[in-house]
Amino acid sequence: MTQVINVPFVVVGAGPVGLAVGNLLGQQGLKTLVIERNPSTVDHPRAIVLDDEGVRTLQAFGAADDFLRQTIEGDGARYFGDDGQCFGVVGAGQRNYGFAKRHFMYQPELERALVDNMRRFPAAEMRFSWAVTGINQDPAGVTLECATPDGPRIVRCDWLLACDGGRSAIRQWLGIDFIGSTYEQDWIVLDLRSDPDHVNYSRFYCSTSRPAVSVPAPRGGRRFEFMVQDGEVGADMLSDEALARLLAPYRPFRSEDVIRRAIYTFHARIASRLRLGRVLLLGDAAHLTPPFAGQGMNAGLRDAHNVAWKLGLVADGTADAAILDSYDQERRDPAWAMIQLAVAMGQLVMPKGSEQAGLRAMLLKMLESFPGAQDYFLQMKFKPAPRYTGGLFVDLDDQLYEASLVGQMLPQPLVRLSSGKTVRLDEVLGPGFALIAQDEAGAARLTALTHPLWRKLSPAFVRLRPDGANAGNVAGVTTVAAADRFARPIRTHRDQILLVRPDRYVAGAFEPAQESEFAAKLEALLNDRACDRLSA
């Protein structure tokens, strides 16, 4: 008789997204089984860029600092035309969220680090060489048929998180459409060690004949990407002879330096729905992004951080399952916006013929008289900010201040503890909810909350005071001083209390005297069955 395993949460796919959500669920003490059809994590590079929001997700479950030692910080990008001249420079950017904008990494090292970190959480278990062969969903849960090294197994769970990649069998079994397009051109991806180019920025060769990209990698490595031309056979382009010709303008080719050579087809696609009943799609199973903005894996890490805490609230009865519809509501538009950003960058890198290249050159020439506009274009400042326009936020469209942070990711400044030690703000907020006050009246109110919802949410109490302000320590409230300029946007709410969600988005802001009214609105939001639109 086939063994049946019952577990509340199952994650299918042990890539960075599946392992991240496994860590986040395990950290909450939620019994979770992560299964992967392969015998181990990947052994070759795939994703190479980890952005600041992605690192912040790793920080939430304690994996950031150790892993960052295996990465190199990015120093922006340079764009070159057919004439070999650099026509655009992108700087490293600011550390609004506590980390550098870009870190270059090896995906195998990230996956190993996430597996190791998950061992800290007894509630989360990992199983390799487990392949899902069938799935059946009913109103009470999901049943998976699995082939394992020990024979067939049946796994029964309350919630299934599909992190099984762009060809997601689970998405296909559920009949969920994958909307969008596929790039006409394939690309050669070549990972090399011992590269003579030691700069920490990316180089984009925006040629009309052979577009190419060069990206730094840890420990002196580098990734090259070359567009396959019409009439070329992809497999033939992976030979030593072909690769030597492609690399000739950039570096000598040595076969022993090759870590990986592959042909990739780039896609710009998103699932027609991110939740169907008790199944949620994350990462590449939910959306596929061209690589030009380095956002594929990072978008998936945002998915993981968005959904894990919501599942926790559902599991402990604090919220109705209908709140999981907010996952689709919140993540769909930002994920698609990142796809569109990558497509726009691709058009910059891959001008189709001399006419498009000429238009690009003319635009840049015109913008020389408008440094702000040129900077906006070259620095890709049209990248969507971490902001949601709907979802689990209190009075999102009715805020007291025009510069309100409600609906946005909270900046992460450096803060100074009472001991004098300087840390990032999230180290004080902890992994769950947090209430932040800035003045003494708000800090005093934190220890006198009356609404019963606060006992369920168990928020951390933090006073973030400006440098030089009266310490005004309140028992039960951690007081820290803002130690850098990235705290300035938070000062918009200096007379209010901010509620910060576990994914570091600001859920709401209220005056100390309005605490009960605010909590009642939040409780209604968490238990509003009327919002259950997408789960049928």
User: Which residue spans of the chain are classified as CATH 3.50.50.60?
Assistant: 3-72+100-179+268-345
The closest alpha carbon to 73, from 94, 50, 104, belongs to 104
CATH topology of domain 3-72+100-179+268-345: FAD/NAD(P)-binding domain (3.50.50)
pLDDT band at 378 (very low <50, low <70, confident <90, very high): low
Can you give the pLDDT at residue 244?
97
What is residue 291's predicted lDDT score, i.e. its pLDDT?
A: 72
Give the count of alpha carbons within 13 A of 237, CB side only.
20
Q: What is the pLDDT of residue 470?
A: 64
The pLDDT value recorded for residue 296 is 82
Measured in residues, the chain has a length of 536
85-137 per-position pLDDT tens digit: 887 788 888 899 999 999 999 999 999 999 999 999 999 999 999 999 999 99
CA-CA distance, 526 to 520, in Å (whole number)?
Answer: 10
Please state, rounded to an integer, the average pLDDT across all residues of the chain.
90
Topology of domain 414-531 in CATH is Glutaredoxin (3.40.30)
Contacts of 108 (CB under 8 A, 6+ apart): 41, 42, 43, 44, 45
* Cα separations in angstroms, 412 against 98, 329, 415, 427: 5, 25, 9, 10
Give residue 536's pLDDT band: very low, low, confident or very high (50, 70, 90). Answer: very low
Q: Which residues contact 161 (CB under 8 A, 6 or more apart)?
A: 9, 10, 11, 12, 18, 21, 279, 280, 282, 307
The DSSP annotation for 472-527 comes to ---TT-EEEEE-SGGGGGGGGGTTSEEEE-TTSBEEEEE-GGGHHHHHHHHHHHHT
Q: Where in the chain is the domain with CATH 3.40.30.10?
A: 414-531
| Among the four given CATH numbers 1.10.287.70, 3.30.9.10, 3.30.70.1710, 3.90.1150.10, the one describing domain 181-267 | 3.30.9.10
6-36: burial string, b at 16+ Cβ within 10 Å, e else:
ebbbbbbbbbbbbbbbbbbbbbbebbbbbbb
Tell me the pLDDT band of 204, cut-offs 50, 70 and 90.
Answer: confident
Q: CATH 3.30.9.10 spans which residues of the chain?
A: 181-267
pLDDT, tens digit (0-9, with 9 covering 90-100), for 134-183: 999 999 999 999 999 999 999 999 999 999 999 999 999 999 999 998 77
Strand partners, 203: 78, 214
In tens, the pLDDT along 323-365 reads 999 999 999 999 888 888 777 766 666 655 555 556 556 555 5
pLDDT at 534: 33
**pLDDT reported for residue 307:** 98
Question: What pLDDT is stored for residue 305 in this prediction?
Answer: 98
Q: How far from chain centre, in Å, is Cα 270? A: 15
Q: What is the mean pLDDT of residues 23-43?
A: 97
